Structure 1
């Protein structure tokens, strides 16, 4: 029998057992406020993507700050959000299996649920399930705007699918969805590629409008492009997500948001002067976008990540690092790191304020 002892609020951060996922509440809350302000000033609404946070706790904080609802990627994530009190959700991945479609239709009886589609038969299946469940589901046609993942092409394919959705019972044609997630750059260099992608979405909007179908929602954008996307007149909402914690992949972009989530780890071995071994491994920090960054320790470089161990190469003053010392790491990718933790340890001014369950962890169906 395994019993996990969680630290009580008021515990100094350095006394939390490691490896631990630490959130700086001041930084995260500032990021929420700043994104809300930027997007609103650009003329769009905020619908943050919760595939990063996987928690109704953070979703409700974002809604309290002014978001009109949230996005998620899976039906399982949506179920957790609704159970946690979130009542306006857009699922941004296509939902295709019979069991998931039935769960989607059932969930729509309890909250405002929207989903993207890029296939007419899929739309019909969702319609049939919604009719059977006596619910209504909002549908956004998913448009490929150069990310070359899911989505129909703008123009006739988009318009044809929108017409089909509009006529299906228990479905409400809500608009279009596009994601320019392939754009990743610095400052103004992002603008041409972002606008080129969004021109495809604008074209899709104009063609659907010309066919006589009203469009309520045009959802797009991400953390990398939020400040550009929100100013495009056709875009009604921005679905950025990573900004809340700002992981390592975004740091070099010099965006205005602060890193808010770190993995606190501890030195478990100092075998030689220029090497330290940490109690963090692939089971507690993701490396899909590269190794984590070492924070606040000049001369320390993260050089190896194995299943249960992390290796630091040490030079200069970093060689003073001792057995038992605490080290803070910035993950390269917050979303995949969060998905392997049970709890957020939320800290303010170095003191634990709250322990929040990662309720959406593992909800990939």
Structure 2
């Protein structure tokens, strides 16, 4: 390393964690590097906010996708109601990044996690979590009563053979009674997650589930058991958000309730899983204007060309998600093989990743391909969540691949 490079390095930090602002990604950043393109990012944030508002709903994006405070702030500045998280430590990280309304779409279990939330509430956070167990409700009530705090809870309504949540109205009714016995708990609405619905007519099943959420919160409001003037009803991942929004889009809910949608992956979208889901959404809603665009890519060097038809790329499980699909080849930048035309990207979407290891991806390529060690390849993802958590810093870039900013993640 040169002295100038060493001057920017700190012990324990990988070079890829320090993207230099103003550098060109292809030649001025240590690769592999994760890049988020500014233009589609901005479009996606604005598009989903408009979509939620057009259905009379609030938007509370699921922050576990990115765990990037800078992106949380942009979503809030665009009009988001709050940020959804999955764990107490995630909520603490979001609050430290400036998020004050936190919806934890999960059960708050274990006293160390309760302690984190108690500290957040004490610091001024507006916090919500979900419950589906009398045992958990009792533990929460005891813990927060001892600290003189009130914890906002939503009953989770699940689906048969799904994940968490009460399975039927009898379980909901019983849990309402247990919550009422806990002076430190405020029941403020109903929460659900439709992403576990699969098999048969999924569209009809998701729509019916959305209606079930609505009917449940209506029943609770009519019974005068809710301690919020505009009770919350919330669901929606990134696959079925249109169907949940349709179920929530009722004049009564717009006026007397707080419908909240919680998609997260939309912020950077992807190149396969959610790209396919968006195509289905557009097919179900032919009048829908605009679209989500993939904004996240990972760039890496060709590392070895050991035999015809095979390229080994310096990109592995430590750098990019590989479920449900292996990394998706997008473009070649021939920095070495054709340096005169290196700025011209070549479409390699027909190439195929066949295997991935910790630091290497095996790429099946045409035998007559002109490729050299040191050329740069751009890869897309299928489901972005498990790429974000590989990085402490990600590059925000423009269309010319100039680094505009370094986006910190807090996993």
Larger radius of gyration: 2
Matches within 5 A, 1:87-166: 87-110=100-123, 111-146=125-160, 148-166=162-180
TM-score (norm 2): 0.82
Change (3 A) 1:54 1:71: same
Aligned with residue 29 of structure 1, among 5, 30, 42: 42
Matches within 5 A, 1:72-87: 72-87=85-100
Give the secondary structure class of the aligned counterpart of 2:107: coil
| 1:139 Cα deviation after fit | 0.4
| 1:47 Cα deviation after fit | 0.7
- The answer for the alignment partner of 2:327 in structure 1 is 292
| 1:153 Cα deviation after fit | 2.0
- The answer for the alignment partner of 1:342 in structure 2 is 392
- The answer for the alignment partner of 1:49 in structure 2 is 62
User: Which of 46-55 and 151-160 deviates more?
Assistant: 151-160
Give the secondary structure class of the aligned counterpart of 2:65: coil
- The answer for the alignment partner of 1:250 in structure 2 is 274
Q: Is the 8 A contact 1:147 1:180 kept in 2?
A: no
Q: Does 1:311 align with 2:362?
A: yes
CA–CA separation in structure 1 for the residues paired with 2:184 and 2:13:
47
Q: Deviations over 1:28-64 (max 9, x none)?
A: 1110100011111011110110110112211111111
Any gaps of 5 or more consecutive residues in structure 2?
A: 1-10, 282-290, 332-347
Change (3 A) 1:3 1:102: closer
Give the secondary structure class of the aligned counterpart of 2:387: helix
- The answer for the alignment partner of 1:325 in structure 2 is 375
CA–CA separation in structure 2 for the residues paired with 1:64 and 1:124:
37
Aligned with residue 203 of structure 1, among 210, 215, 226: 215
Change (3 A) 1:14 1:183: farther
Aligned with residue 264 of structure 1, among 294, 299, 315: 299
TM-score (norm 1): 0.91
How many correspondences in the alignment? 356
Q: Is the 8 A contact 1:147 1:181 kept in 2?
A: no
- The answer for the alignment partner of 2:334 in structure 1 is none
RMSD: 2.0
Any gaps of 5 or more consecutive residues in structure 1?
A: none
- The answer for the alignment partner of 1:176 in structure 2 is 190
| 1:184 Cα deviation after fit | 7.3
- The answer for the alignment partner of 2:244 in structure 1 is 229
Q: Is the 8 A contact 1:159 1:204 kept in 2?
A: no
Change (3 A) 1:309 1:4: closer
